[in-house]
Amino acid sequence: MILSNFIANQTVHEKYGGVVPELASRAHMQNIVPVVDVALKEAGVELQDVDAIAFTQAPGLIGSLLVGGQFAKSLSMALNKPLIAVHHMQAHVLANLIDEPRPSFPFLCLTVSGGHTQIVLCEAPNKMKVIGETIDDAAGEAFDKSAKLLGLPYPGGPLIDKYAKEGNATRFRFPEPQIPGLDFSFSGLKTSILYFLQNAGTSLVYKEEFRATDEERKTFIENNLADICASVQHRIVTILLNKLKKAASETGIKDICLAGGVSANSGLRSAFEEAGKKHKWNTYVPAFQYCTDNAGMIAITGYYKFLDGDFSDLSVQSTARAEW
Ligand SMILES: Nc1ncnc2c1ncn2[C@@H]1O[C@H](COP(=O)(O)OP(=O)(O)O)[C@@H](O)[C@H]1O
Ligand SMILES: [Mg+2]
């Protein structure tokens, strides 16, 4: 049971249109002690009562990972409690085990966030493998970069979702990439949206003669925002769902989960539920607060590693990238 899942959001990045790593680690340093204090208070436990200290070891922004890693090591040493290094992507998947109903093993998980897009085959809490992933942008990045092209503030994913609700998803047909196997690609979509806007909707292929003035482009976006957002979202969602269906049919697995910040997307959720009904899947999506980056998912992963006695010593290193 999760006793507290307190999150300190960093608003400092908004005006830069993306996360600034240096500012992120500084804000992390300022936040980490107060956040732990609030979490303990909310949970109603003393620091001495915890059984182990779990922390995100990888992957991510190295400055922020180092702040969390050093803090966790210090706590573990001072309290003489086991230290548990957690992989962020494993944690996103295991967010599905926090609340009832839980998927049974083996299950598939489509993890979609601002940094990752993966299909994971999970055989046990500590036994999973990535069977498909993006070869370029992540799904969240595809949302955020499309939003940026439309002049929407960062992170634009939730705004595309909002405007898409009013729009016609089949009005503009952005291309679906032909990538073999279970891998994804989103960079072509971004380019076609760029050209489409540069041409003020006249063509998906860049042609000098179609090039619109800034004014024409702005007016086109203003007049068609809902349809553009709905069409972009529709394409991102079909790219994701088509690969997930392929994974399900190739593995024969029927328990299928979503995870990561993009699983908050209403278009993805409804397409996922619809596919579930059609293909007789048992579908699972974590509660919203466990989809975006959160402490609860690190805690549940720590819990399963604790049961397996999978502890780290103080020499464990934080890393920006990590295979798993
Ligand atoms: N409703 C939504 N529709 C589309 N994208 C969304 C929605 N809500 C959040 N996102 C996207 O989720 C991503 C953040 O995912 P998250 O897992 O919290 O962070 P990270 O990628 O840092 O691990 C961002 O790209 C954001 O735009
Ligand atoms: Mg994440």
Token output for 166: 């009013």
Q: In what order do the strands lie in the sheet with 107-112?
A: 127-133, 117-124, 107-112, 255-259, 282-284
pLDDT (tens digit per residue) in 144-200: 999 999 999 989 999 999 999 999 999 999 999 999 999 999 999 999 999 999 999
The answer as to whether 313 is a domain residue is no
The whole-number average pLDDT for the span 69-81 is: 98
Return residues with CB closer than 5 A to ligand 2 (ion).
113, 293
What does the pLDDT read at residue 318? 95
User: Atom of ligand 1 at shortest distance to CA of 141?
Assistant: 25
What does the pLDDT read at residue 69? 98
Report whether pLDDT(13) > 90: no
pLDDT (tens digit per residue) in 36-63: 999 999 999 999 999 999 999 999 999 9
What does the pLDDT read at residue 10? 86
Cβ–ligand 1 contact at 113 (below 6 Å): yes
Q: How many domains does the chain contain in total?
A: 2
Are 57 and 83 in contact by the 8 Å Cβ rule? The answer is: no
Are 62 and 320 in contact by the 8 Å Cβ rule? The answer is: yes
pLDDT (tens digit per residue) in 250-308: 999 999 999 999 999 999 999 999 999 999 999 999 999 999 999 999 999 999 999 99
Report whether pLDDT(323) > 80: no
Same domain, yes or no: 59 and 122: no
pLDDT (tens digit per residue) in 217-259: 999 999 999 999 999 999 999 999 999 999 999 999 999 999 9
Nearest ligand to the C-alpha of residue 297?
2
What does the pLDDT read at residue 82? 98
**Rounded to two decimals, what is the model's pTM?**
0.94
The answer as to whether 323 is a domain residue is no
Same domain, yes or no: 126 and 71: no
Full residue range of the structural domain in which residue 263 is found: 102-285
For ligand 1, the distance from its centroid to the CA atom of residue 147, given in whole angstroms, is 12
- What CATH number is given to the structural domain containing 43? 3.30.420.40
User: Atom of ligand 1 at shortest distance to CA of 138?
Assistant: 25
Longest alpha-carbon distance in the chain: 70
